[in-house]
């Protein structure tokens, strides 16, 4: 687990509490000599964008350096969902986003994760499609714009437009995941059922063959016994 891509993924997880504190604690600020250098909203925005960059960087480095590990594969989506969920829930608490929108986005994330987990158990990997990637792009842009609208209210319409794009692309990509999941898993179940039936048929034939052989042996033994009796 001690490689740079995994370290970046872990850093994204550890940054989540600091991000929440910076976003919701209005009196949190970094100052020097009595002057405010970074206010809480800017600090939260910096942490969020830095985490988004590490999300792109860790996967790229893992593939380029051939350091893809099981731990990294498991932790990466967890880190992503922790960060996004924390950001969305915090923005709802600050009354910057409607609750129904956040519930829909987070529910979509867990539903897709569940589908991918079931598919993985069947031996299939459902990769993110283009629609899902666009959802991620709008998600980062939308959350960043919502946070920026705290200081610049004029950005609010653009922020909500981006969040609506997240909802639309999220539902669209979830439907695409479900379609690919159903096709792959349904085919897998049919193939497994067919193999089970073939196995049962072979076992039945072996039993019947063994029974025929046993009956032949019994008849042969009976014939031998009858001959010996006549003799």
**Model confidence pLDDT, tens digit, residues 202-219:** 888 888 888 888 777 777
Confidence band for 30, pLDDT divided at 50, 70 and 90: low
Whether residue 201 has pLDDT greater than 90: no
List, for residues 167-197, the tens digit of each pLDDT value. Answer: 999 888 888 888 877 777 666 667 777 777 7
Per-residue pLDDT at 144: 93
124's enclosing H/E stretch is: none
Domain ranges of the chain: 1-95
Residue 214, SS3? helix
d(CA 142, CA 156): 10
Q: Are 125 and 119 in contact (CB under 8 A)?
A: yes
Rounded mean pLDDT of 10-21?
87
Task: Read off the pLDDT of residues 54-103 as tens digits, 9 standing for 90 and up.
Answer: 888 877 777 777 777 766 677 777 888 888 999 999 999 888 999 999 99
What is the value of pTM for the model shown?
A: 0.71
**134 burial type by CB count under 10 A (0-12 exposed, 13-18 middle, 19+ buried):** middle
Judge residue 3's burial from the number of C-beta atoms within 10 Å of its C-beta, 0-12 exposed, 13-18 middle, 19 or more buried. middle
């Amino acid at each position: 687990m001690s490689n740079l891509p995994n370290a970046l993924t872990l850093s994204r997880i550890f940054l989540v509490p600091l991000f929440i504190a910076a976003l919701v604690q209005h009196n949190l600020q970094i100052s020097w000599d009595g002057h405010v250098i970074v206010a809480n909203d800017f600090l939260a925005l910096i942490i969020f964008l830095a985490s988004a960059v590490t999300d792109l960087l860790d996967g790229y480095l893992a593939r380029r350096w051939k350091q893809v590990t099981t731990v990294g594969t498991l932790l990466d989506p967890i880190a992503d969902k922790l960060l996004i969920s924390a950001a969305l829930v915090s923005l709802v608490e600050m009354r910057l986003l409607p609750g129904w929108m956040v519930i829909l986005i987070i529910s979509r994330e867990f539903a897709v994760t569940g589908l991918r987990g079931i598919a993985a158990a069947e031996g299939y990997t459902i990769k993110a499609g283009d629609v899902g990637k666009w959802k991620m792009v709008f998600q980062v842009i939308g959350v960043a714009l919502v946070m920026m609208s705290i200081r610049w209210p004029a950005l609010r319409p653009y922020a909500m437009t981006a969040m609506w794009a997240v909802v639309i692309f999220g539902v669209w990509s979830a439907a695409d995941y479900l379609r690919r999941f159903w096709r792959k898993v349904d085919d897998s179940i049919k193939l497994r059922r067919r193999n089970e039936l073939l196995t049962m048929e072979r076992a039945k034939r072996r039993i019947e063959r063994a029974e025929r052989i046993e009956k032949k042996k019994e008849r042969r033994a009976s014939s031998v016994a009858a001959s010996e009796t006549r003799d």
